[in-house]
Amino acid sequence: MMSIHIPPYITFSKNVFVPVTNICKNRCGYCGFRRDFSNPEANVMTPDHVEILLEKGAKNNCTEALFTFGEPDNTPEFREILKNIGYSGFIEYVMDLCQMAIDNGLLPHTNAGALCYADLRRLKPLNASMGLMLETAGEVDAHRNSPGKDPCIRLETIDNAGRLKIPFTSGILVGIGETWDDRIESLLAIRKLHERYGHIQEVIIQNFIPKPNTLMSDLMSPSLEEMQKVVAIARALLPREIAIQVPPNIVSIGSLVACGASDLGGISPVTIDHINPESRWPSLDEIRSMVGDVELRERLPIYPPFVKAGWYSSSIEKLVKGYSDENGFRAK
């Protein structure tokens, strides 16, 4: 029988969730977030709007600015939108948002989709960590119209992040039509890159949630038993220093902690989960009652071992040092 490593504590970070744009070249079968250019709800946040959220996050004791995006293509329409808010390109815009977060005393964690080496290199000094879900190494129908979900492209981004020594988050999405072999192959692919570069700080095991008005709205989420099994397999396959993260607002975390999950990701006191807007963040008291006796510890968007190893730039050094204790967790 497989022995499961039960973590001595569960970590989380306090973030402000900034959904920078919902414009996306992909059309994932489960996505309730993306909008077409022609849709009145298509949005690219202006710097002024982002600033309001960042100030709110800073006032509410957050340490992390989580920037999320669709994967906009470099089309004339998208360039026009950026031009109207004062930017010549996507990466310039993202860099400016990261600098705004730093100026507000927040550490950026950017999830800007699949990026090339050069773009990652420009973003690295302005980020405490970055992320890209692999989702699955398998071919699934849900990604038939999503060129950006090609696993080779995504693994290349994770590889580039490793070459650049960027503390990195990846993960898999469970229940989108992938097989058990796909799940294992995905976890092994992430492990292989971590073995090469040592840069993966956490792997998210995220359950599919059906969204209204999507191609997969009639499908079921994976059962709790299935999630328990995936978490246990991930814990067994991944090195101990990689945290297994589960989202506390969309899955029952108590039993997943018992299977090896050790992180809850960002929990926001000020913003909703824009990807799962129907699922509110539980309060810390609610989380405490879900995880039982296991201690809850706040961390920064850069995990303690990377804080201690100095995997951050001079642009964010003051913030990292100011926020962290001698073990790399958030100072009390």
State the residues that interact with ligand SF4 by CB under 6 A.
24, 26-28, 31, 33-34, 70-71, 146, 148
Tokens standing for 164? Answer: 């650049």
Q: How far is the CB of 25 from ligand SF4 (least distance, A)?
A: 7
User: Quick one: 26 or 255, whose CB is closer to ligand SF4?
Assistant: 26
Instruction: Say how far apart CA 167 and CA 159 lie, in whole Å.
Output: 12
C-alpha–C-alpha distance, residues 326 and 75, integer Å: 47
CB 70 to ligand SF4: min, Å: 4
For ligand SF4, which is the closer residue by CB, 208 or 329?
A: 208
CB of 87 to ligand SF4, least distance (A): 20
Query: CB of residue 318 vs ligand SF4: minimum separation in angstroms?
Result: 33
Q: Please state the closest distance from residue 222 (CB atom) to ligand SF4, in A.
A: 17
Burial 144-159 (b: 16+ CB within 10 A, else e): eebebbebeebbbbbb
What is the 3-state composition of the chain as percent helix, strand, coil, each rounded to the nearest 5? Answer: 40, 20, 45
Q: Which is nearer to ligand SF4, 11 or 110 (CB)?
A: 110
Query: DSSP readout, 102-148?
Result: HHTT-EEEEE-SS--HHHHHHHGGG-SEEE---B-SS--GGGTT-GG
Least distance in Å: CB of 134 to ligand SF4? Answer: 12
Report the nearest approach of ligand SF4 to the CB of residue 60 (Å): 26
- What is the identity of the amino acid at 272? I
* C-beta closer to ligand SF4: residue 29 or 328: 29
Q: Which is nearer to ligand SF4, 279 or 315 (CB)?
A: 279
Q: In the structure encoding, which two tokens stand for residue 111, read together?
A: 């999830």
CA atoms of 10 and 294, how far apart (whole Å): 7
Nearest CB to ligand SF4, comparing residues 144 and 240 = 144
* CA–CA dist 256, 230 (Å, integer): 9
List the one residue out of 174, 171, 172 whose CA is nearest residue 208: 174
- Of the two residues 140 and 267, which places its CB atom closer to ligand SF4 in the complex? 140
One-letter amino acid of 10 = I
